Amino acid sequence: MKARLGMMTAAAAVVAVTLGCTQQQQSGTSMVIEDKVYAVTPDTVNVKAGIMTGQVTEMKVTERIEKGSGNVVSPAKLSGKLLLKNSSGDQTVRLIAGKLQFIDAQGQPIKIEEKRVEPTFKFSSYGMAERLDPGQEATQVVDVDFPAEALKAKKLKTIRLELVYLPSSYREETVNMAVSIGDK
């Protein structure tokens, strides 16, 4: 008797869970989100700032759009990779931060919307040396907010990259030491 009662209770629980899940699936509407990707031309640009040289590669702008309604779910972001090389022969560099500025055809900065974050980034030390000695390279992923105004045709003319780094002298010297073995 107790076994039957236990089996009936378990069966009732399975039916209740199944019906409850089915009702939730039928009543819930799922929103389909798509990435809208804007090509940045060219997508690779050579850069030089002081003793730092390199490239910004794989540049693209992506915003997330609700399919059907066209509503923007996630505002536009610029992404890419920044490869920097210390081209100095005698200075080491500590990379600190970067800032992007978006410039229109009249040479004026395009403002980021009020509720968005300024397009800045800090250089991560993960996977990267604390400093770059002469000739060394570092790669940084860039993923920053992009102004909606700049998405309009012919609006964006230039992307300006400002780098903050700390150079310090790097010297290599040789010292000769007069020694002998076994003589006094």
Residues 6+ apart with CB under 8 A from 31: 66, 73
| Contact status, residue 164 vs residue 111, Cβ threshold 8 Å | no
Closest CA to 140 of 95, 101, 102: 95
Give 12-54 pLDDT, tens digit per residue: 444 444 444 444 444 456 788 999 999 999 989 999 999 999 9
- Claim: this prediction has a pTM higher than 0.75: no
Residues paired with 72 in a beta bridge: 65
Closest CA to 95 of 43, 57, 136, 143: 136
Rounded Cα distance, 38 and 156, in Å: 12
Architecture, CATH, for domain 34-169:
Sandwich (2.60)
Give 66-117 pLDDT, tens digit per residue: 988 889 899 999 999 999 999 999 899 999 999 999 999 999 999 999 889 9
